[in-house]
Structure formats: structure tokens, C-alpha cells
Structure 1
Amino acid sequence: MWRALEPIHAVTYFEPEPLQYCTALGTKGFWMSYFAQRAAPLGAVGPDVVGALFYGFAPGRVARAVPDAWAVASPERFVAARLAAVDVALRRLLGADVIASGGLAEAAEIATAAAAAAPTAGRALAAANAALPVPEEPHLALWHAQTVLREQRGDGHVAALLTAGIDPVESLVLVAAAAPAERAAVRDPANWRTWRGWTEEEWVAGAVRLAGRGLVEPGGAAVTAAGAQLRREIEARTDELASPPWDAVGEAAAERLLELALPLRTAVLAGAFPAVDPIGLAGDG
């Protein structure tokens, strides 16, 4: 379900309209726009809170965007700009016929029910987004539902990482070391360091810690059997923690949503979605 629906949310980051809307408010560059949009539902929180909840980002990268973003515009204005920009982007990507279709309305209805059933206790990003009004228009309701669902899943993933004793930079070293050899760009530590803002020294220190636990080979270039097993356990626990919304709507409704979402996904991925991305959908087709 995440792979089917996540591109619909990801227009927030990978299509041009959200960046344009944030730039019009006064942000500078992609990352200030990213942090402002994603953190805005939390209110005017500081970099320590944003870094703690987003987890995988280097503190320095967060601090270059927050709290300066709130001096540019209030969180409420960023929430409004995000929704307006997504509206324009999805209308362009999906087309008027799909926007007005019964299938999209049905998909939005199922996804909204799933999001309403998503537990948010202990999940700050999910709770902050769930507290926002559900948009009336189906394409925006679907986007809003996936925003809640993906943040709910992400909050659970952070809990799984914490339980496994994996800190933010270690989580990225581990995923890069475990990436399939044929996905060289995802496997390249330099890409992960660039995407998330870690220094080479911080990355090397994380790899040394993981190697000391027997989870990656020395230097972090490859995952060990123990590291691969731990990563499988983390992903399985993440899935388990993300399952209540789908249990609530039932298998038949979830399968129907999957059927309805796949053409939408294809249309979104045909837009400006990058060939290599840091959220795990690169090369997914």
C-alpha cells in the first residue's frame, strides 16, 4: 500500500509547484521548502524537535532551515501553501477526467477511512497531520490520507529503529550497505550523505559503530548476515506497526484501493519524479 500511495504524497517534494509556492512565501532553496512544508503541521517547533521526529537528517541540515522558515511565514501559511500547490500539481499530473472520476472518489473514501483508523498515540507527525481538516475534493482527500498514513508508518519505523538501537546516521549506513548491487546510486554512501546532510566523518563513525556490532563489514561497504537479518526485522516490525489502518478497512477494500491507486501512481511517476530518490521508490516503475 505504501508503494502504491506514496507517490501521491511525494508530489509535495518532487514536483515543481510546492517549491514555487514556498519560494513565493520567501523560502530559499529546496531544503527550507521541504522542512517548512513537512514540519508545518507541528507548529513553529525548533530544529531539535524537527530533527528528532524526522530522524534521518543531520542536525546541521535541519538547523539551516528551522527556525528560519517560521520567520518567512507562519506554519499555518505553509500548510495552506502546501495544499494549494499539491492541488495544482495533481490536477496537472492526473488530468481533469481522472480528477472528476468516480474511481478517484472511491479511492479517496477508502484511504480516508484507513487514515482515520491509524493509531497516532506516540506518533507526533501522524497526529499533527491527522488533526488537519480533511479536504473536500477527492484528489486532495486522497493526498491528505496518504500524508497521515505515511507519517504514521514513518513514526512507527523510528520506533522500530530505536528498539533495535540504530541511531539516525547508522540507519542510513545500514540501508546503503544492504542495497542491491544493481542499484548503485542507492548503494552509494555519498548519495545518502548528500541527501541527509551528514559529514564524511559522521558517516564513517556510524559505520565503525555498526561494524563493531557485526552488522556491516569494516568500512560499511556491505551488510553482514546479522545486519541483513536485523534490517529484515526492522522492516517487518515497521509493517506490523503500520497494519492497523488496513486491518480496519478490511482486505477487500484495501485490494480495491490498490487497484484504483496504481494508475494514479503511474501518472505521478511520469511527472518530475526523480530517477533516483531517497525514499525507496527509485526504479520501482
Structure 2
Amino acid sequence: MIRTRFAPSPNGALHLGHAFAALVAHDRARRESHSGGGEFLLRIEDIDGTRSRAELAEEALADLAWLGLAWDGPVHYQSHRLPAHAEAAARLKAMGLLYPCHCTRAEIRAAAQAMGPDGPVYPGTCRGQAVDPENAAWRLDVRKALEQTGPLDWSDEIAGTQRARPELFGDVVLVRKDLPASYHLAVTLDDAAQGITHVTRGMDLFAATHIHRLLQALLALPVPVWHHHPLLVEGDGRKLAKRRGSPSLADRRRAGEDGPALAAALRAHRFPAGLSLSMGVDFPA
């Protein structure tokens, strides 16, 4: 059984880049449906504090239906899984793999000695220190975690077998000050809970998989296959963004555009003028 998912965050309107990503996930599952072996699930990742808005979640559902996409089973809401996120974080703390940190972004930028996939690499300022856990973020001691797991590999349908290199990120935040899980922990747990076998997502999240593979090993979670697809970008190579004037799907829908025809054009790689597909960067060796 192949099971994929599309997991938008309701903190902004969906645009053509989201539509392309949803189509990749939907069609990857539907290719297996002729034998009864494919499912496409929908998850709303609504744990981004006040930026997550219920009305944008409803708009996203309407946009996907307008494109002609149908998902299997009920819509999953990430906010319903906060207790499970907290329990997993508690397990990692009990394993001695998380430590509290009060460092600000400015302090990290000033002290960082390297750049990673998410920006300045945290230099380990609070690791091994007596830090007040009250209102702290909790970071994963990546080096200690790798000592427990040993070398790890993961597989991408496009890039092939990869050796996990979570150390590229430094000690990432797994528990935010305001939530029981960061993106890395929440998405890894929720994909496992939903039984996702094939994680389809944009190439911009390729590097994040190094961290997710480590978390799967630490928490004894199943390991999916990944499929990191090209991104739909503007002429200057930047991802689409509503704040830069990229038309939203809702705008197109309300203007009377034909949703299934748009989906067919995206599948055929017929994009509006000025847009193209890009891997962004070469696959890491």
C-alpha cells in the first residue's frame, strides 16, 4: 500500500507552487489505485500559533477540490496531535538527548562559525550548561544522538540512496518555547502516525530529511521513501510567494478559472509566463 500526503500550513493562501506539490502527491498515490494500493491523505499543519488561521484551512480545502483533487479519509489536523508530540519529546528528554536553550537568533548569528541548510549553525552554547528549563526551547544533541544510532541511510525516488548527515544542521530545536514540537519533530511523528509510505515534497526540504531520518531511528518509527520534486519558481529563481504578488489559487478560483484545466496544465509542465521548475540546488553527494 502506497500512501502519500499533502500537508499545507494555513498561514497563507495556497498558490501554484502548492498546487504542483499537491498534484505530485495525489498522482503518486493514484498511479497505484488501479490495484487498490494507493491512498492520498490531507493534513493541515495548523500549529504555527496565531499565524494558523481556520479560514485559510477552509480555503485550502476549497482550492484542492476546485483543482479536481480528492483525498482519502478525513482531513487530519496537526493541532489534534499535540499530546503525542509532547510524549515523544518527553521520551527524548528521558534518553538524555535534549537540552534547554535560551539563545536568541541574534546571539546565534553572532556566535555561529558555520552556515547550515537553515542558516547559521547553532554553536552549542547551552549544551552541557546549567540552563533554566523554564520557557526554554529544547535542542537535540545531534552528536550524542548519532552515537546511539550509528550511520543511517535514506532513499529518495529521484536522488537515490543518501547517507543521513544531520550534523549539517547543528543541534536543532525540537521543542519550541510556545509548542511541544518544532516542524522537524511534528512532521516526522505525524507522517508515521498516518502510515505515510512515500513522502513527496519540494526540493527545498531535501536537507531536512537528514534530521527526520535521525528522529525515526531514535523513536523507532517506520522509514518511508522520499520523493523530493522540483519547485515552481519565478524567473529570478525565487519560490512563489503571495507577499510578492504571486496569485493565490483562491483568487484564480473566484475569478472563474477552470481548476481541472489548470491542474492538467501543471501536470503537463505548461506554466504561466515567467514560471519554471527548478531543483534549486544539485542533490548533495
Instruction: Return the TM-score normalized by structure 1.
Output: 0.29
Higher strand fraction (1 or 2):
2
Instruction: Return the TM-score normalized by structure 2.
Output: 0.29
